[in-house]
Amino acid sequence: MSAELKKALYNISALADLGQAITSESVFHEKIQSVFYVITGTFLANRGAILSYDKSADRLITVTQKGFPPADLDRVDPEKLMSLGKNEPFLIGDSPVLAIAGVKILAPLWVRDEFIGVLLLSGKLTGSPYTQEDLELLNVIAHQIAIALNNHSLFMDLSDKLEENRRLYEEMRHIYHGTLQAFAAAIDAKDAYTQNHSYRVAKYSTAIARELGWNEHDIEGMYVAGYLHDVGKLAISNDLLNKVTPFTPEERAEIRKHSTTSHNITSKIKFPWQNVQDMVWHHHERLDGCGYPEALAQESLSDGVRILSLADSFDAMTSQRPYRKKMDVQTAITELKKCLESQFDNKIMLVFCKVLEKEIKGELPEPDILPYLDRDSDLSVISSMLEAIIQELSAP
């Protein structure tokens, strides 16, 4: 093989290798066109084309070309090309295998037993014939172009499937969230004083989890736990839930069963998130061990439980209840602070205050807490209170 052909082979090999690593559609066409220009330049062909085979439509599609009328390329019959040697250059001569004026040589492109497409070239500008060395070089090029086309086709098929799976996942996710919302609405509907309570708790909880640096998967689990934390109330009578007078010890015990009932319901669901059942079960536990249903304390309580406990309590305090009026935001925050280390976790309280302060200052694009607070609240007073608490809890 001549030195010139060896150099050309090296250059084309490098370009073809780039083609194998191609991912996006735009980059693929840019690279394959570069390879095509090197090929036509190497053989001094003023016309040429690379066509890929669409198996589903049983037709050849032009990837890149110059000098041939598109209508002529559309008439290329893939069946005739499949009868030729795999990646073997074929001199047209008087053969009727390809009825396109100006094509002097072609190479059917194959990867193993898969027909991929075809490379077409016109005669040389010099008028000289294709030599045996040309055919050997074209054979190598055909192998490389076939691999590049095949890899790109496989990648695009995979991308299409991934996109379809992503779309299906999003559809299922919307359906799932819609079901959760309907479930939560059924829970809240039993108690006239807790409308949208589950939704707000879910929003507050995810805002805290996000500020803590949780990943999106775990944040969604936190959201689900917030929605379902009171699902056990479906088993409690409406009269008891909406009772205005103080609860008797027996009634209080009945109300407290909702945590265990919630756990019994959610434990039968195969969630893709960890600890949803645990967060639902133990959201009424306290750091000092005086909560329910299992009187857990300190290290036994996960961050998720601590988040849900604070979010649930804050919304309960700032909502109207049959046995008391709702608190204003400042009073509710003061109550949370009073119960630090006994009921609520310092770290979770600090993060909650930071989130709310950022929302008040407009530093977050989508606030999750502020929109659901009393519109008559004096935000400047709340902000000052939050700054003082943040400074206190951040001190070493």
Distance of CA 205 to the CA centre of its chain: 21
Contacts of 363 (CB under 8 A, 6+ apart): none
| Domains of the chain with CATH codes | 3-162 (3.30.450.40), 190-394 (1.10.3210.10)
Contacts of 211 (CB under 8 A, 6+ apart): 351, 354, 355
- Give the pLDDT confidence of 346-361 residue by residue, as tens digits: 999 999 999 999 999 9
360, 383 contact by CB (below 8 A): yes
Q: What is the pLDDT along the chain (396 residues), one digit of tens a residue?
A: 555 555 555 555 545 454 444 445 667 777 788 888 888 888 888 889 998 888 888 888 888 898 888 888 888 888 888 888 888 888 887 666 676 777 888 888 988 888 888 999 998 988 899 888 888 888 888 888 888 888 877 777 677 677 776 776 677 666 666 666 776 667 666 665 567 888 899 999 999 999 999 999 899 999 999 988 888 888 888 788 778 788 888 988 998 998 998 888 888 877 788 888 999 999 999 999 999 999 999 999 999 999 999 999 999 999 877 667 889 999 999 999 999 999 999 999 999 999 999 999 999 989 999 999 988 889 999 999 999 999 999 987
- Give the pLDDT confidence of 262-278 residue by residue, as tens digits: 888 888 877 788 888 99
| Rounded Cα–Cα distance for residues 290 and 342 (Å) | 9
| Rounded Cα–Cα distance for residues 129 and 137 (Å) | 14
**Lookup result for tokens 């103080």:** 246
Reduced to 3 states (helix: H, G, I; strand: E, B; else coil), residue 309 is helix
- CA 105-84-14 angle, 5° bins: 60
Calculate helix-pair angle for 216-228, 303-317, nearest 10 degrees.
50
| Rounded Cα–Cα distance for residues 98 and 76 (Å) | 7
| Rounded Cα–Cα distance for residues 60 and 50 (Å) | 10
Least Cα distance to 313 among 280, 289, 335 occurs for: 335
| Rounded Cα–Cα distance for residues 371 and 365 (Å) | 12
| Residues listed for the chain | 396
| Rounded Cα–Cα distance for residues 156 and 54 (Å) | 13
Q: Which residues pair with 60 in a beta bridge?
A: 53
Q: Which residues pair with 53 in a beta bridge?
A: 60
Q: How many CB atoms lie within 10 A of CB 371?
A: 11
| Rounded Cα–Cα distance for residues 383 and 243 (Å) | 36
Print burial letters for 264-291: b (CB count within 10 Å at least 16), e (below 16): bbbeeeeeebebbbbbbbbbbbbbeeeb
102, 126 contact by CB (below 8 A): no
**Lookup result for tokens 């265990």:** 260
Q: What is the DSSP string of 153-200?
A: HHHHHHHHHHHHHHHHHHHHHHHHHHHHHHHHHHHHHTSTT-TTHHHH
- CA 246-248-254 angle, 5° bins: 110
264, 253 contact by CB (below 8 A): no
Report pTM.
Answer: 0.60
| Rounded Cα–Cα distance for residues 368 and 378 (Å) | 18
Q: Is the alpha carbon torsion for 358, 361, 362, 363 positive or negative?
A: negative
- Cα→Cα distances 118→86, 142, 379, Å: 10, 8, 71
What secondary structure letter does DSSP report for 68? S
| Rounded Cα–Cα distance for residues 323 and 331 (Å) | 17
What local confidence, expressed as pLDDT, does residue 19 receive? Answer: 46
Tell me the HSE value of 140 on the side-chain side, using a 13 A CA sphere: 18
310, amino acid identity: L
Reduced to 3 states (helix: H, G, I; strand: E, B; else coil), residue 150 is helix
53, 60 contact by CB (below 8 A): yes
Q: How many CB atoms lie within 10 A of CB 362?
A: 9
